[in-house]
Chains A and B, each alone.
Chain A
Amino acid sequence: MDIIDRRPNPHGKNIENRRRVLQRARSAVQTAVRDAVARGKIREVGQGNAISVPADALHEPSLHRVFSDGVREIVLTGNREFSRGDRLQRPPGGGGGQGSGAGQAGEAGGGEDSFRFVLSRDEFLDLFFDDLELPDLIKREISTTENGVPARSGLSNEGSPSHLDLGRTMRRSIARRLGLGRPKPQELLDVEERIAALEALRPASAEELEELEGLRERRGTLRQRMARIPWVDPVDLRFRRYTIMPQPATRAVMFCVMDVSGSMTERMKDLAKQFFLLLHVFLERRYKKVEIVFIRHAESAEEVDEETFFHDPRTGGTIVSSALELMRTIQRERFPSANWNIYVAQASDGDNASSDTTRTASLLRDDILPAVQYYAYIEITGSGAVIRGETDLWRSYRAIADENEHLAIRQVGDRKEIFPVFRDLFSRQRDSAEA
């Protein structure tokens, strides 16, 4: 008998099979993921997510018989009170005991129960944001700041000890020692041993004395050679060489601008927040290096941190241009457009102080749009600021959007619409269609 300890064996034999299940049920899983997001808080997205997909997507059919009518006999256990001839009421669901299993399977047809997955955060977000991209990221990629990345470039015979290439160094050292005939340490040891043995002999014969003399001479030579030919010589040293290769880096910043004024109802703020949360998760997922700046505004604008942005209530009047100005100032100071891809997402109910709209529009058209990569404006519908079917802000933005492709404006009225609009704004197709 053998006992084998399999515990150290690699686990996860079925990871590949599991991946294939996801792939097979991809569209069903994707629908389920998006439903889950629509139902739940986006903030909780991807934290131990269990989703259910209809079992149909993964049904394995087979040829099997089901009992529908006729006569059959069923043997059961645990009889306490029945005697022969008793008549029992049929339990709901047809058949009794064992039979009901077959009966239900028949009615259930292909199987309507659903299949439950627990997805990892990465899997979840991958499916959720499938084929979404920040638009136009590639365009400026080359022109952005170049970072240096060290790359291997051959060997050199000088360098810092940490770059020492031990293998090559020792190979050269061996070659040199062989070439110059450095005696092996063992050889010297042997000679010394023999000398000690001869010296111990007393009295020694003439031959032995002669041998001893010879050996002593040999020992002198060996020692001399060993001292003269070093084990490792500076000429042996080889160092790995690195040169700094310029690496174009993608640097992007996303400005999230949100109206938190009094005209925004809680529902509208909630919708806007949902949009930004989605954006936030998306950016975190896709772009490890994206900087995010949160700006909220009422009559005046302020830069806030993520927590405040999403959770701190505030009210007041509305001056949109204040936020745009602040955005532009921050951008000039910290994210010069020569070095950064700049994206702006703005959410508002379209309400603005009427005197400010012209200023906002010109700020956007003349100052901001030329500097940014992409500007998305989300208007939450249902505000009181609608005049002749659209708000002031919407009207002026629309005029600008007609001239500028990289300004996208969308309206959102309901929670359900957020994701479609989001997809619409960031879908890859749009990107490639333009390219």
Chain B
Amino acid sequence: MDQIVSGGGPPARAGGLLYSGNDWNFQTIRDCYDAIEEIARGELGLEIYTNRVEIITSEQMLDVYTAHGMPVGYKHWSFGKRFIGHENAYRRGLMGLAYEVVINSDPCISYLMEENSATMQALVIAHAAFGHNHFFRNNRLFREWTDPSDILDYLEFARGYIARCEERHGQRAVERVLDAAHALQNQGVNRHSGARKLDLKAEQQRAKERRAYEDSVFNDLWRTLPAEAGEAGGTAEGSHARRLLGLPEENLLYFLEKNAPRLAPWEREIIRIVRMIAQYFYPQPQVKMMNEGCATWVHAYIMRRLHELGRIDDAAYLEVIHSTSNVINQPGFDTGGGASFNPYALGYAMMTDIARICTEPTSEDREWFPDIAGNGDAIGTLRHAWAEYRDESFIQQFLSPKVIRDFRMFRLCDDTAQPYLLVDAIHDEVGYRDIRRSLARVYDPGTFYTEIEIVDVDLLGDRTLKLEHRTKAGELLQAGDARQTLDYLATLWGYGVVLNEVDSQTGTVLASHAAGPSQ
């Protein structure tokens, strides 16, 4: 049972220490929250969703990981797989658990681990309940692509709906659709248009109508007809039909939900559920670096202010510094274990740097950032950046020579025709812009999402679905996976599927994959 804990003891004296030592109770958390809120709203001007702080055990944290922080989820073996993976890593000591997890919902839920010390609880409240929360609420991507007020109810609906489908149609039948839809979920997002608001009532209504329609048109006679009946009018001209189907279409799940001829209504609804959830998670990887940078900068600022105001003691502040510097540690390329950028490190460094440029610009900064250098409004500038940019454009706009120098960045040119790797830019006058452009490209969604579209359906023939992957030579789909995914696609479509990989410059077909309908 949930237990809402209301403050019991007397609140901490205004201005005095919030706590001392490591132990905390619910009153401590409340006091810290109030003190942090004062700074967050008063000094930083953060706008946040209502907060909900939940205290959980490490075991529950593993569950939270599995569901990407979502408090409810439908049942599927892939979640079990993820859970076992996390559990193994944790039990064998390969992985520490995060101090907190926060999800983009309204109210904004932050999960805090019970093992955290009082200082860590304060830190993660500042980090998650204010830093991330502000980012979720204000960043353009989240505002346009997600609807945090309805997501919890929608997940509840999804779980209920899928459970009912399992009762009616059996776990296997549901799993078949879910497996296939999961394989395609990266292709289940409207990239260019943003999400329409989720409307839970309408969702439930539609589900009910589908159900009712199915019941009303049920006729045992029809069931015995060969399934191929389909639509008869094949007279329409190809291009006209394509237009009617809305081709080309990049959102494969949307297309299947609307047009796949052989799906039952409940199967369409399940596809829709997977699509909606994929859409909800779509912005996260595109702003991960900024989001973490924002939260880390906010917690560092707030904790420093708490210390300056005498609300936490020196020991606590040392713990804050220790923990923050752990989080923002950037290993060099040669330290092993991969050399990717730590989003916390890069994000925090850039936020700090922007604040510095605004208040204490050098002549270099004035040249590079004439519009913000020395404007004296660090917080306002940051708030604007948090709201209007995503990782790629943020780097393009704000990565300064100083950060490039501090990280000692360099760029390698990897030409597979050459036996060596060429260092073609380092942190110097000539290299700054090259490095900045290349780094921004790493965060460009265009580079980490594949561009796959449905281009045609053979309406007059055997209804083969034709897809195109626009790419270039040397960057093809992983063939085994492509083949398996197409099998799934064919399962949902009900007929054959062909995927051509096309050179986006010349239009030549580089590779082709096909799958037949599975029965």
Contact = CB atoms under 8 A, between A and B. Distances in A.
Contacts of A24: 77
Contact of A17 (B66, B187, B339, B414): B66
A165 B53 CA distance: 47
A70 B80 contact: no
Interface in B420-452: 420-428, 430-431, 435, 438-439, 441-442, 450, 452
Contact of A20 (B80, B129, B185, B341): B80
Secondary structure call for the B interface: mixed
B422 A87 contact: yes
A17 B75 contact: yes
B57 A11 contact: yes
Contact of A79 (B78, B182, B185, B427): B427
Interface in A86-114: 86-90, 94-99, 101, 105-106, 109-110
B60 to A, nearest CB: 6
Nearest to A82: B423
Contact of A70 (B114, B412, B452, B474): B474
A69 interface: yes
A84 B475 contact: no
Given A78-B332, A78-B335, 7 more contacts: A1-B53, A4-B55, A5-B5, A11-B57, A70-B475, A71-B414, A94-B416
A420 to B, nearest CB: 30
Interface residues on A, range: 35 or more
Interface stretch (B97-105, B150-158, B261-269, B476-484): B476-484
Most buried by A among B62, B76, B480: B480
A6 B126 CA distance: 20
B333 A76 contact: yes
Nearest to B37: A1
Interface of A: 1-9, 11-14, 16-21, 23-24, 58-80, 82-90, 94-99, 101, 105-106, 109-110, 115-118
A7 to B, nearest CB: 5
Q: What 8 A-B pairs have minimum CB-CB distances, sorted nearest first?
A: A78-B332, A17-B80, A70-B474, A61-B484, A21-B80, A20-B77, A76-B333, A69-B416
Contacts of B442: 75, 98
Nearest to B333: A76
B55 A78 contact: no
A59 B481 CA distance: 9
A80 B423 CA distance: 12
B279 interface: no
A6 B452 CA distance: 43
Interface in B16-52: 26, 29-30, 33, 37, 50-52
Nearest to A19: B80
Contact of A18 (B29, B80, B473): B80
B331 A65 contact: no
Given A60-B182, A73-B411, A84-B424, A9 B60 contact: yes
A84 B75 contact: no
A20 B50 CA distance: 36
A4 B4 contact: yes
Contacts of A105: 478
A11 B83 CA distance: 13
Given A4-B3, A8-B3, A110-B480, A71 B415 contact: yes
B194 to A, nearest CB: 23
B426 A79 contact: yes
A2 B52 contact: yes
Contacts of A94: 416
B53 A63 contact: no
Most buried by B among A11, A61, A90: A61
Nearest to A101: B338
8 contacts: A24-B77, A62-B184, A63-B469, A65-B450, A68-B475, A69-B473, A82-B423, A87-B422
B467 to A, nearest CB: 9
Interface string B92-116: 0000000000000001000100100
B499 to A, nearest CB: 8
